[in-house]
Structures are given as structure tokens and as C-alpha cells.
Amino acid sequence: MHITSLVVHVLPKALEQVVVGIIKIKGAQIHGSHPAGKLVITLEAHHARDILDCVSQIELLDGVINASLVYQHVENWQSLNQEVTHD
């Protein structure tokens, strides 16, 4: 499981339409936005190439200036189903 966070810079007048476009991308979630044209999003996918495809889709949305990768984490699916204990 690949989990990636991005900051997406958008023309302020296009913010709403870009949000609609991102919501349509499988595995994309918007966690924050600013009216000046900034979005904080995460992407989840099974493979790194799927993440890159999603980033490309975002970059091609009308009004997107830049999509900057902030962080990527890879986790084995089995470990996501393990119980976490606190000592």
C-alpha cells in the first residue's frame, strides 16, 4: 500500500473545479484547502506507478499550477491488519 501526500497549488479562481476533479480520482482525499489556491491531499494506491498516474491526472486538471510531492510511505497490506498494542 502506497500512501503519498501532496500540496497542490491552484489558480484561486479554479479552486472549486480542481477540487471536483480531484474528488473523482480513485484513492485521492482532500484534507485541507486555502482560498489562495492551496490544497493538501493524500493518495492511496497499490503500486507506485498508480500514484504517479494520479499525480499526472492532478497536474493535467485545468487551473493546477503545480503538484508537489511531500511524503510517501509504503506499507505491507498484512501489517495494516495487525492490532497495535501500547505498552
Tens digit of pLDDT for each residue in 35-84? 999 999 999 999 999 999 999 999 999 999 999 999 988 877 666 566 76
Q: Which of 68, 63, 66 minimizes the C-alpha distance to 15?
A: 63
Give the model's confidence band at 85: pLDDT under 50 very low, under 70 low, under 90 confident, else very high. confident
Q: Which of 7, 23, 25, 5 minimizes the C-alpha distance to 64?
A: 7
Tens digit of pLDDT for each residue in 19-40? 999 999 999 999 999 999 999 9
Dist CA 71 CA 21 (whole Å): 22
- Global confidence as pTM: 0.83
Statement: 2-74 belongs to CATH 3.30.70.920: yes
